[in-house]
Amino acid sequence: MTNKKILGIGSALVDIMTQIPDENILKELNLPKGSMTYVDAQTSVEIGKKLAYLGNQMASGGSAANTMSGLAQLGIEAGFLSKIGEDEVGRFFEKQMTETHVNPQMLKSATPSGRVQALVTADGERTFATCLGAAAEMCADDIRPELFEGWDVLYVEGYLVANPTMLDKAVKTAKAAGLKIAIDMASYNVVEESRDYFMQLIENYVDYVFANEQEAFALTGMESLQALDFLASHCEIAVVKVGAKGAYVKRGNEMVTIPPMKANVIDTNGAGDMWAAGFMAGLVKGENLAKCGQMGAIVAANVIEVLGTKMNDERWGKIHEAIASL
């Protein structure tokens, strides 16, 4: 598999990032630390008003969109399929995608664009309150075979299990068009709520699966290495990321351990998304599993040293140098 093209599908969201000095703020907002909670538009606005005094930063977000931006920065042709509103937030999202060299394939809606209140605590842990807006309206009727023409891999964010009829149509249509399917499991609470559906996706459609240890446990009830074996028995490549201990990768009988990179943690937002970007970039360039994993670790270690998921050209230069020296 050399220099293949990757199309991401997920929720087009704009992250509104706020660093919060006190974890009690999360309790007041009824947001479990480290989780992703869906909220309606009114609640999203209220959270924004309550946190306005702390200041914030805006950036295009959404799990698969972040991964596609990372892939494009690593020289891989990447696209992103989602739905946005015809509003300022939607235009901001589309512009940021284009600026990071991702080909945005945006369907349009009269509903306001999706947005995420991303609350970052002092330890770098992130907690999300997500209002999907227009992104939630992507439906099975929007999924047409021509959307997948010319692409080699469909990269799915696990949050889309909340929209199973659309996701079923997407993976079936992509498979029929000859694409490989990759999925990132998103969040442990999402896996817990949709365990059976995740399982049938992995058993029937998924070629590459990315999970952290909490997500892998939520799906399988097994610890990391046992979960890795289980996932690898159902798909071509399984990845289980184990935080500060690095990651495990398995393909068939081949298993590699990827050591973590040292990093000064500012914000863990985007770490998993960027790990997947590094790994997939290596995979489509035909690198071995160990190098793919090391590429993932390098990109992830860099993104956690900045607030948010966007890195400047200087940092991307460092990433390219580190990868070149592997």
How many residues does this entry show for the chain?
A: 326
3-state secondary structure of 180: strand
* Predicted local distance difference test score (pLDDT) of residue 308: 85
Walk along the chain (326 residues) and give the pLDDT tens digit of each residue. 457 999 999 999 999 999 999 999 999 999 999 998 999 988 998 999 999 999 998 889 899 999 999 999 999 999 999 999 999 889 999 999 999 999 999 999 999 899 999 999 999 899 999 999 999 999 999 999 999 999 999 999 999 999 999 999 999 999 999 999 999 998 899 999 999 999 999 999 999 999 999 999 999 999 999 999 999 999 999 999 998 899 999 999 999 999 999 999 998 889 999 999 999 999 999 999 999 999 999 999 999 999 889 999 999 999 999 999 99
Tokens 């009690």 locate to 24
The distance from CA 302 to its chain's CA centroid, rounded to whole angstroms, is 16
The distance from CA 172 to its chain's CA centroid, rounded to whole angstroms, is 21
* Predicted local distance difference test score (pLDDT) of residue 2: 54
CATH architecture of the region 6-12+62-111+140-324 = 3-Layer(aba) Sandwich (3.40)
Tokens 């609470």 locate to 189
- Each domain of the chain, given as residue ranges in start order, spans 6-12+62-111+140-324
Query: Which amino acid belongs to residue 16?
Result: I
* Beta carbons of 12 and 82 less than 8 angstroms apart: yes
Query: Which amino acid belongs to residue 178?
Result: G
DSSP string over 15-58: EEEEE-S-THHHHHTT--TT-EEE--HHHHHHHHHHHGGG--EE
Residue 45's alpha-carbon distances to 35, 36, 51, 92, 136, in angstroms, are 19, 17, 10, 18, 18
Q: Which of 296, 272, 270 is nearest to 282 (CA)?
A: 296
Tell me the H-state helices in 159-258.
Answer: 164-176, 188-193, 195-204, 213-220, 224-232
